[in-house]
Amino acid sequence: MPTPSNRISGIVPSGKDGWEVHFTAWSRKQAGEDIIMLSVGDHDFHTPSETVEACVNAVRAGHHHYTQLPGIPALRAAMAKLSTRCTGVETAPDEVIATPGGQAALYAAVQGTIDHGEHAIVVAPYYATYPGTFRAAGADFTVVETRAEHGFQPDAAAIENAVTPKTRAILINSPNNPTGAVYTRKSLEAIADVCRRHDLWLLSDEVYWTLGGGEHVSPRALPGMAERTLVINSMSKSHGMTGWRIGWLTGPRPFISLLISLNLVSTYGMPDFISRAAVEALENDYGIAEIAERYAARRTMFLDAIRGMNDVVVRGSEGGMYVMLDISAIEPDDEKFAWAFLEAEKVGVMPGSSFGEAAAGHLRISMCQPESVLLEAARRLRHFISMYRREAA
């Protein structure tokens, strides 16, 4: 074949991508082995039945056609209302654009703010697609690590040190994947200050905003930030709709209006019947409270089961769908630990280093399994650690 573009070849440079343990565990499970999968962030339950019904009704009612590029008006209105709740800033429908999932909102945010050869700062540990999203824009980026011993809270001084004359944006994510850390108001204020002083965009990935436990603080609400903050939202986590591919981006009106042309040449708008179902789910909060309660209960239960495990330290783990365990006192090589755990106990977890250096020596454990399975995984972890120690001794 003729040569593909450097653009697509460079999005995921060849070689290791950090997901090897997950894909091995997954293939072995598919082949019939009894493996507990705690390596991915997809719900173990279906989308709320009310949302499914709304979609079936929309299909039956003939909503099969092209839609407005930024989203049908009722969808933008419902998304704007939720943005008002999520960010604490009154949001109008023309300040949001519907996208196929949070990932497409991230893509749009990066495409919309950073030109080829310009620079961004990304706070780590981060969601696995972030580097590729910058590479797809031809952008350079600097990773600024948070520290495990600071509960993975970002350090604004370290972020500011990474600012160059070419920097256009900072990307943060709270509640955080993979650490479960929820950034404090103080941390966000300090980052906002850097953005204002250096005239930067703040790309704020808030897809886990309903799973943070306490009050959600969006940097968009901080003084002078609404004009420079782009908030990434999604129905995947909050509404139990990962496979529906629906999310949105919130930002200043003129910016959103420019982004409509990106939809013109990429998605050409959202699917009609999915948009209608999403409107109903958004207007009625289908699933939000139940899903948030479910993950909070699982997290509490799992952390209780981990408590007292020698040399395992819980870091972050305040929100989102994951728990982060520091196992470096047992085995500093988190990948080696994850492989050995899979072999010995048939539990698939993610090595923390897959998410950047800051999470090395950690395991990311997904709470996307019923409580009984999580308890069994905790039991296997306890057993594994005692055996690992004995063998090492």
Closest approach of ligand PLP to the CB of residue 204, in Å: 11
Closest approach of ligand PLP to the CB of residue 102, in Å: 3
Closest approach of ligand PLP to the CB of residue 370, in Å: 20
Question: Which region, judged by CB under 6 A, interacts with ligand PLP, from 87-95, 100-108, 155-163, 358-366?
Answer: 100-108
Q: Tell me: does residue 102 bind ligand PLP (CB under 6 A).
A: yes
Closest approach of ligand PLP to the CB of residue 225, in Å: 20
Sites for ligand PLP among residues 23-52 (CB under 6 A): 41
Q: Tell me: does residue 353 bind ligand PLP (CB under 6 A).
A: no
- Distance CA(41)–CA(248), nearest Å, equals 19
Q: Pick one of 39, 114, 127, 349: the residue that binds ligand PLP (CB under 6 A).
A: 127
- Spell out the residues 6+ positions from residue 209 whose beta carbon is closer than 8 angstroms to its own: 86, 175, 216, 218, 233, 238
Q: Pick one of 83, 146, 218, 236: the residue that binds ligand PLP (CB under 6 A).
A: 236
Q: Which amino acid is at 33?
A: E
Closest approach of ligand PLP to the CB of residue 128, in Å: 8
Q: Tell me: does residue 238 bind ligand PLP (CB under 6 A).
A: no
Beta bridge partners of 145: 124
Helix (H, G, I), strand (E, B) or coil at 21: helix
Q: Pick one of 247, 319, 348, 361: the residue that binds ligand PLP (CB under 6 A).
A: 247
- Distance CA(31)–CA(29), nearest Å, equals 5
Q: Tell me: does residue 118 bind ligand PLP (CB under 6 A).
A: no
Whether the CB-CB separation of 231 and 204 falls below 8 Å is answered with yes
User: C-alpha dihedral over 177, 233, 183, 163, to 10 degrees?
Assistant: 90
Q: Tell me: does residue 263 bind ligand PLP (CB under 6 A).
A: no
Give how many residues touch ligand PLP by CB under 6 A.
Answer: 13
- Distance CA(356)–CA(273), nearest Å, equals 38
Closest approach of ligand PLP to the CB of residue 74, in Å: 20
Q: How is residue 308 written in tokens?
A: 């007292």
Closest approach of ligand PLP to the CB of residue 362, in Å: 16
Q: Tell me: does residue 234 bind ligand PLP (CB under 6 A).
A: yes
Sites for ligand PLP among residues 194-233 (CB under 6 A): 205, 207
Sites for ligand PLP among residues 168-187 (CB under 6 A): 173, 177
Q: How is residue 144 written in tokens?
A: 């600024």
For the residues of 167-205, what is the DSSP string, one character each?
Answer: EEEEEEESS-TTT-----HHHHHHHHHHHHHTT-EEEEE
Q: How is residue 215 written in tokens?
A: 């009050």
β-pair type (119-124, 167-173): parallel
Whether the CB-CB separation of 278 and 244 falls below 8 Å is answered with yes
Closest approach of ligand PLP to the CB of residue 388, in Å: 29
Residues near ligand PLP, by CB under 6 A = 41, 101-103, 127, 173, 177, 205, 207, 234, 236, 242, 247
